[in-house]
Amino acid sequence: AEPLLRVNGLKKYYAASGRSAFRRSVVKAVDGVSFDLREGETYGLVGESGCGKSTLGKSLLRLTEPTEGEALYRGVDLFKQSRKSLQAYRRELQIVFQDPFSSLNPRQIVGRALEEPLVIHGIGSPKERTDRAMEMLITVGLRMEHYYRLPHELSGGQRQRIGLARALILNPRIVICDEPVSALDVIIQSQIVNLMRKLQAELKLTYLFIAHDIAVVRHISDRIGIMYLGKLVEEAPTDKLFANPRHPYTQVLLSAVPVPDPSGRRERIALEGDLPSPLDPPSGCAFHTRCPFATERCRTETPIRREVDEGHFAACHLI
Ligand code: SF4
Ligand code: MG
């Protein structure tokens, strides 16, 4: 079947600020990423902070303008739409951020914040909007009285429930979740992830779930893509990725995930150094400066993406 969203060769480059005009530096935040989002699935996008995953999410909604590539939503390229025609699609693609209230007025009651998307899209009468907001509070496991609360009166978990309610009030089909549980403690994290799974089933949602922690996306993702310095280095169904990670970077990420069965414990692989700057990414395979298996070839030649098993792709010279 046709994917709900097909991302093709997405690039987001921007000029680095504070640099001399003679050295025109370009940050390749997202550097040629392609993947499909299938109807009803959760695609987990994982990588270290600074790898470009948030930029990718924002580019899909054009909250930041992509430099190159396509985003075909039901066959229509979102990157080619005028601002005006994009508005219609923006109802169907919503985003949830780590802290949903960071961009909202702290003196505005929750109910008003919830209704805002309806106001922006000119949907319903004031009474209908209030009814819909109340309904959404129940949907995300809160109570109607939360309508009158101020953001600071809510816990982190409650705030993220409001974030979800606000994203879902327009009845979207795709929700881009950018580290939605990263600021929460572990117990609240699993409550929110469980709520998201329940909402996905009830409302037939498709998720792009962005996280730096692969353990967080494991139980919600059907497939996982691993990003390193603006590129997708591995992609596989979740089970296959955990059973047989092929890219050395994925192996490093997985070696840090605790396993319930001690006999299945992987040896922890330590990653040397920090993520290199996307301003000056390493030549060849960008991971070669930290890869335990790097050879001379890795320094000069960029590995191409290969299918190593059905639906399982990786880009590494070793495979
Ligand atoms: Fe490591 Fe080379 Fe594979 Fe890159 S191509 S992940 S440096 S072995
Ligand atoms: Mg981020």
- pLDDT at position 111: 96
Convert 99-114 to b/e letters by CB count within 10 Å (16 or more is b).
bbbeebeeeebbbbbb
Using CA atoms, how far apart are residues 51 and 231, in angstroms rounded to an integer? 8
- Which residue's CA lies nearest to atom 7 of ligand 1? 288
Contacts 24+ apart (CB under 8 A), 103-110: 104/151, 106/150, 106/151, 106/152, 107/150, 108/150, 108/151, 109/147, 109/148, 109/149, 109/150, 110/146, 110/147, 110/148, 110/149, 110/150, 110/151, 110/154, 110/162
pLDDT < 70: residue spans in the chain: 17-24, 259-266
Ligand 1: list residues with CB < 6 Å: 247-248, 285, 287-288, 291, 293-294, 298, 303, 316-318
- pLDDT at position 260: 63
- pLDDT at position 265: 56
Please give the distance, rounded to the nearest whole angstrom, from the Cα atom of residue 178 to the centre of ligand 2: 7
Please give the distance, rounded to the nearest whole angstrom, from the Cα atom of residue 288 to the centre of ligand 1: 6
- Which residue's CA lies nearest to atom 5 of ligand 1? 316
- pLDDT at position 51: 92
- pLDDT at position 20: 55
Superfamily of domain 5-92+172-314: P-loop containing nucleotide triphosphate hydrolases (3.40.50.300)
| Mutation pick for ligand 1 pocket among 272, 295, 300 (CB with most ligand atoms within 8 Å) | 295
Using CA atoms, how far apart are residues 118 and 198, in angstroms rounded to an integer? 23
- pLDDT at position 140: 97
- pLDDT at position 135: 97
Please give the distance, rounded to the nearest whole angstrom, from the Cα atom of residue 106 to the centre of ligand 2: 23
| Mutation pick for ligand 1 pocket among 246, 298, 306 (CB with most ligand atoms within 8 Å) | 298
- pLDDT at position 101: 74
